[in-house]
């Protein structure tokens, strides 16, 4: 890997995922502590993600005006750390309402999606093709360890202050941990090599001539329209992202409401909730240990199918869960299949998308998939509300989500060969901003 040391990337992954475990994983629980209700707590999962995805659609246009991947990633990750700090303040002051919380989390997701798309493109130039499966498999393991540590720290902190009856202020501690972890990851990201651009290619790709104004609305809309052509011109990517859209709709009918189900209906304390969340990531770690060997043997498309099919019917089993041990076992099995699915999907996105179109495609992917998350969450929330947030309503959305997931996966099963990821062309960095006219 073309950095000062590959270990730096692994350490950075640990701290960025620690941020996820200590901060992002507790957004819905924080909403419940603010008295927002079970359905609204579920919407905290979907609605801010949709807000963030809408905001990050401006990334290709703004990036064409400031095409420096390293600086871009450092900027948005720094903004993300400030948002976590702001959430910590809202927890301490206990004055912020739902709109403020939703807006902050929406901006958090905008930074996450925008930074992730550019990071993916940036790493495409730093990680050689032959090193990618091993690099991402090991990096994936590190991220699970970091997330587990974040969950553990946050869970212990919340458990220790639970008896003091401080309400939402308790979440200031996990958000502080997340803030510090993101600050450390930003520092480590600075160790990676910056990409040198061919300035002429970037200029040719810009919309219009003359002075560049990143806030030119009409040019921005024109650019957005032309980047849509990139999605239309990549048929395989279009098929993959369409499947993921339908799959995410089905997933989030139920998964957005697992946290309120555990905390409100099963009345789990923070340690039980933490153990359940950690089981998911331990299952992912076990899957990642096996993933590289299985992908080499069966092909990435076959492992993608196995992972998706394995996790699809599992939400229906929440009907039989009433204790912590049962919840941990179910989440551990789910995490195993999720791990297979995520590493295979990550390889498809990283290896099969052409570098010159990667940012545009990932931006549209983020937008479509978060739209699907919001649709699924709204459907689940409406069904849950119609049953007055009773246990019967939860079981309905769990069974419905499981059935729809399974149907979509079976309809998208791979061919007999399973397929392997085709390496993306080693495009010149400057070709990133090339746009195509929609057909």
C-alpha neighbours within 13 Å on the C-beta side of residue 281? 22
Distance set, CA 237 to CA 42, 110, 188, 319, 327 (Å)? 30, 22, 32, 36, 36
Q: How far apart are CA 27 and CA 84, in angstroms?
A: 11
CB 375 within 8 A of CB 50: no
Tokens representing 327 are 């919840």
pLDDT (tens digit per residue) in 15-53: 999 999 999 888 888 888 888 877 877 777 777 877 777
111 versus 5: which is more confidently predicted? 111
- Mean pLDDT over 166-173 rounds to 86
pLDDT above 70 covers what percent of the chain?
Answer: 78
237's CB contacts (< 8 A; 6+ apart) are: 231, 352, 353, 361
- Mean pLDDT over 161-166 rounds to 75
What residue spans define the domains of the chain?
Answer: 6-194+220-432
- Of 176-185, 225-234, 293-302, 405-414, which gets the smallest average pLDDT? 225-234
Q: Find the angle CA(403)-CA(405)-CA(409) to the nearest 5 degrees.
A: 120
Q: Above 70 in pLDDT, residue 192?
A: yes
- Residue 180 is predicted with a pLDDT of 96
Q: Above 60 in pLDDT, residue 363?
A: yes
Q: Above 60 in pLDDT, residue 421?
A: no
418 versus 315: which is more confidently predicted? 315
195 versus 411: which is more confidently predicted? 411
Tokens representing 81 are 């750390």
Q: Above 50 in pLDDT, residue 302?
A: yes
- Residue 115 is predicted with a pLDDT of 81
Q: Find the angle CA(51)-CA(235)-CA(205) to the nearest 5 degrees.
A: 65
- Residue 224 is predicted with a pLDDT of 54
Instruction: Name the phi and psi angles at 183, rounded to 5.
Output: -60, -40
Q: Above 90 in pLDDT, residue 77?
A: yes
* Cα dihedral sign, 265-268-272-273: positive
Which residue do the tokens 């219009």 mark?
208
- At 134, is the pLDDT very low, low, confident or very high (cuts 50, 70, 90)? confident
Tokens representing 230 are 């990139």
- At 376, is the pLDDT very low, low, confident or very high (cuts 50, 70, 90)? very high
Torsion angle in degrees (nearest 10) through CA of 346, 348, 350, 351:
140
19 versus 60: which is more confidently predicted? 19
Q: How far apart are CA 403 and CA 434, in angstroms?
A: 41
The phi-psi region of residue 393 (left if phi > 0; otherwise alpha if psi is between -120 and 50; otherwise beta) is alpha
* Cα dihedral sign, 232-235-237-243: positive
pTM listed for this prediction: 0.71
Q: Above 50 in pLDDT, residue 432?
A: no
- Mean pLDDT over 224-246 rounds to 73
- At 60, is the pLDDT very low, low, confident or very high (cuts 50, 70, 90)? low
Mean per-residue pLDDT of the chain: 79
Which of 245, 228, 234, 242 minimizes the C-alpha distance to 60?
228
CB 92 within 8 A of CB 169: yes
Length of the chain: 439
Q: How far apart are CA 189 and CA 184, in angstroms?
A: 9
- Residue 356 is predicted with a pLDDT of 66
Strand pairing partners for 192?
A: 3
Tokens representing 149 are 């540590």
Which residue do the tokens 């309400």 mark?
167
Instruction: Name the phi and psi angles at 192, rounded to 5.
Output: -75, 155
- Residue 439 is predicted with a pLDDT of 29
Largest pairwise CA distance in the chain: 65
Distance set, CA 204 to CA 35, 124, 230, 273, 412 (Å)? 52, 22, 17, 53, 39
Strand pairing partners for 142?
A: none
Tokens representing 253 are 């009918």
- Cβ neighbours of 31 (radius 10 Å): 26
Q: How far apart are CA 228 and CA 395, in angstroms?
A: 39
DSSP 200-244: HHHHHHSSSSSS--TT-HHHHHHHHHHHHHHHHH-HHHHHHHHHH
CB 146 within 8 A of CB 17: yes
Distance set, CA 18 to CA 14, 140, 183, 295, 425 (Å)? 6, 13, 11, 27, 33
**6-194+220-432 CATH pick, 3.40.1160.10, 3.80.10.10, 1.20.1250.20, 1.10.10.60:** 1.20.1250.20
Residue 392, classified by CB atoms within 10 Å of its CB into exposed (0-12), middle (13-18) or buried (19+), is exposed
């Amino acid at each position: 890997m073309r950095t000062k040391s590959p270990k730096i990337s692994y350490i950075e992954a640990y701290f960025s995922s620690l941020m996820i475990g200590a901060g992002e994983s507790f957004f819905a629980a924080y909403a419940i502590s603010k008295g927002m209700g079970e359905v609204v707590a579920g919407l905290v999962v979907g609605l801010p993600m949709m807000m963030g995805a809408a905001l990050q659609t401006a990334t290709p246009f703004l990036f064409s005006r400031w095409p420096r991947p390293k600086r871009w990633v450092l900027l948005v990750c720094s903004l993300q750390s400030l948002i976590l700090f702001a959430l910590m303040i809202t927890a301490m002051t206990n004055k912020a309402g739902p709109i403020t919380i939703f807006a902050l989390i929406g901006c958090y997701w905008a930074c996450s999606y925008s930074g992730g798309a550019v990071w993916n493109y940036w790493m495409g130039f730093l990680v050689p093709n032959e090193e990618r499966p091993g690099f991402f498999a090991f990096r994936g393991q590190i991220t699970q360890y970091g997330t587990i540590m974040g969950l553990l720290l946050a869970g212990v902190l919340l458990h220790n202050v639970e008896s003091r009856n401080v309400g939402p202020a308790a979440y200031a501690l996990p958000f502080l941990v997340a803030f510090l972890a993101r600050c450390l990851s930003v520092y480590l990201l600075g160790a990676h090599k910056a990409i040198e651009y061919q300035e002429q290619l970037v200029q040719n790709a810009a919309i219009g001539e003359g002075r560049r104004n990143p806030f030119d609305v009409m040019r921005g809309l024109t650019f957005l329209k032309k980047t849509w052509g990139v999605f239309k011109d990549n048929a395989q990517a279009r098929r993959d992202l369409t499947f993921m859209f339908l799959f995410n709709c089905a997933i989030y009918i139920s998964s957005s409401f697992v946290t309120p189900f555990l905390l409100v209906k099963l009345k789990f304390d923070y340690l039980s909730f933490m153990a359940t969340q950690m089981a998911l990531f331990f299952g992912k770690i076990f899957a990642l240990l096996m993933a590289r060997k299985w992908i080499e043997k069966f092909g990435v498309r076959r492992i993608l199918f196995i992972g998706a099919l394995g996790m699809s019917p599992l939400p229906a089993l929440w009907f039989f869960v009433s204790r912590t041990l049962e919840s941990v076992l179910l989440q551990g099995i789910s995490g195993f299949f999720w791990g297979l699915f995520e590493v295979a999907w990550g390889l498809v996105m990283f290896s099969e998308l052409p570098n010159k179109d990667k940012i545009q495609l990932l931006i549209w992917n983020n937008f479509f998939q978060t739209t699907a998350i919001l649709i699924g969450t709204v459907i689940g929330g409406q069904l849950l509300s119609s049953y007055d947030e009773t246990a019967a309503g939860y079981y309905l959305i769990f069974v419905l989500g499981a059935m729809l997931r399974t149907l979509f996966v079976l309809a998208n099963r791979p061919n007999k060969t399973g397929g392997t990821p085709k390496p993306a062309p080693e495009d010149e960095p400057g070709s990133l901003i090339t746009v195509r006219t929609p057909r």
